[in-house]
Chain A
């Protein structure tokens, strides 16, 4: 079963139109909890309260943008929608780039694009992207914000990654990471390189598994039966004093 589509629109490329529907390509599998008050295990509810302590019903709440200390400009939903512009149902492909040139750190969420009505155009765009390894760059307005997106092929379908704008990423240079007084020696660099080679393996998505999730579920089951083990405190490992000795020992162990 395909997941429900969350948005319908049209990719435009030159004069070619490819109507598509958007499906989420990912889903969280984290163990889900509800918030409770610890002493009595009763549920937590969220209340909207004004500064004078009055609880405010949802219908009496408006959304405002703070333009200066304490001064708010209230926008109605339609007014926020005005910012979406007139092309908000379109994914205009502005240009193409080599998909491998995009640093993966910019990718945010991924969606699959399903075909709507124009199967030939969909197939053509898919096959052309698949053949060239290129990604089409477009903008997507969704849930009151604009995303820069990369449209590419994944297997038999078109997929779309939302991307962070360049100013939304922290530049590592801003962090001013101090340099060591004594640089790593040639020998240390060579040994670390060897250690990396030894630990190198072909990537397989199956390596991305969560063992902790099972531990949590197992623990919850034990606790329900009244057999939960006592918590153990965590202790961080010691920093390596002698880098060379640690590298040598690691290589011996690998």
Chain B
């Protein structure tokens, strides 16, 4: 079982569901350790008190706040958590909203909620929320305190579990004012139409599993080469392309190239039997595929 980061109750009206919060993301980055150069042994970062010249255990760490006038005050995490005692133990749902109305700019960290314990009442209440939210695209908006910070969160049903995502507060998203957005006015219609055609020709269905982190693999390859004593050469950077003098000509050229690629795909499909085409349609779960002719399948697949 994954480690709980928070536990308490998900509260919806007068229904309380005991839950545990676990991380919904995992860190797959390659991590480097700090080493002492002379003997390549790992370095440990220790907390030391500047006054007493001694190491400080984690339990003796407190927080210092500095006022604008330089005045300071020290508080502990326990004190901070006691300011909103209910919220440190309850995720209180205060509204339901349409998920599509929430701009993704607000989405911060993903977590998953799992029922705390296997009491049947808890499991039933959890299942009820999951079933009911699973049938709509509505998401619950909640509020809770974790490790001395308050979070707004979206709770919703996703792949058989309640997912919780913390949200950035309204004032944590900067205004777009001051960002250089190019020339005033709109793009000329002819250019825009061609650009729309280009986007259309390059549009695919979103499939997150089709993208792998290639950097991770390249970095591992560098580590491997170095281990074998090979010299690592930094590749020359490809020059950044210069802005084109004739935007319309570049658009047409790009559109032709993009259409050429999709034409090739069509030709490829033409060489397949109906059965092979049907299998591909099945993989993509195309509706009405069983009654389609070979020609219709090619059209649906391309």
Q: Which of B108-116, B265-273, B278-286, B292-300 lies at the interface?
A: B108-116
Decide: A246 near B28, CB < 8 A? Known: A2-B179, A47-B46, A170-B2: no
Chain A residues with CB under 8 Å of B83's CB are 212, 215-216, 219
Smallest CB gap from A197: residue in B: B96
Known contacts A36-B74, A63-B33, A89-B237: does B182 contact A44 (CB below 8 Å)? no
With beta carbons under 8 angstroms apart, the residue of B32, B72, B247 that contacts A64 is B32
Give Cα distance in the complex from A245 to B184, angstroms: 60
- The tally of residues in B whose CB lies under 8 Å from a CB in A reads 186
Q: Is the CB of B211 within 8 A of A166?
A: yes
B275 within 8 A of A: no
Residues of B within 8 A of A97 (CB): 203-206
Interface pair B64/A240, CB less than 8 Å apart? no
Q: Which residues of B contact A61 (CB under 8 A)?
A: 34-37, 43
Let me know if B46 and A199 touch, CB within 8 A. Answer: no
Contact assessment for A223 and B179 in the assembled complex, using a CB-CB cutoff below 8 Å: no
Q: Note all chain B residues with C-beta closer than 8 A to A200.
A: 95-97, 138
Query: With A and B bound together, what is the CA distance between A245 and B156 in angstroms?
Result: 23
Q: Judge whether A44 and B61 touch: CB under 8 Å.
A: yes
Contact of B161 among A25, A175, A192 (CB under 8 A): A175
Given A104-B104, A124-B187, are A46 and B47 neighbors across the interface (CB < 8 Å)? Answer: yes
B15 in contact with A247 (CB, 8 Å): yes
**A62 shortest CB reach to chain B, Å:** 5
Encoded as 1 (CB less than 8 Å from any B CB) or 0, chain A from 230 to 250 comes to 011111111111010011011
| Contact indicator A72/B16 (Cβ below 8 Å) | no
Cβ B167 vs Cβ A208 within 8 A: yes
Contact between A101 and B205, CB atoms less than 8 A apart: yes
Complex Cα distance, B235 from A93, in Å, reads 21
Q: Which of A50, A67, A115, A223 contacts B181 (CB 8 A)?
A: A115
Known pairs A28-B172, A42-B51, A63-B34; A250 contacts B82 (CB<8 A):
no
**CA–CA, A51 to B43, complex, Å?**
7
How many Å lie between the Cα of A251 and that of B12 in the bound state?
11
Query: A231 contacts B206, CB within 8 Å?
Result: no
A112-151 CB contact bits vs B (8 Å, 1 = yes)?
Answer: 1111111111111111110110100101010001101000
Residue numbers in B under 8 Å from A74 (CB-CB): 35, 40, 226
In the complex the two chains form, what is the Cα distance from A233 to B49 in whole Å? 30
**Binary contact track A16-52/B, C-beta < 8 Å → 1, others 0:** 1111010111111111111111111111111111110
Decide: A189 and B131 in contact? CB cutoff 8 A. Answer: yes
Contacts of A182 in B (CB 8 A): 120, 124
Query: What 1/0 flags go to A201-213 for Cβ under 8 Å of B?
Result: 1110111111111
Minimum CB–CB distance from A253 to chain B (whole Å) comes to: 7
Given A105-B158, A196-B132, A234-B88, A72 contacting B235 (CB threshold 8 A): no
25 CB contacts below 8 A, A to B, read A14-B198, A14-B253, A34-B63, A36-B64, A44-B48, A44-B56, A47-B47, A75-B223, A82-B235, A85-B235, A131-B196, A141-B215, A146-B216, A170-B24, A172-B161, A175-B1, A180-B124, A184-B131, A201-B96, A202-B101, A205-B170, A212-B150, A213-B150, A235-B85, A243-B128
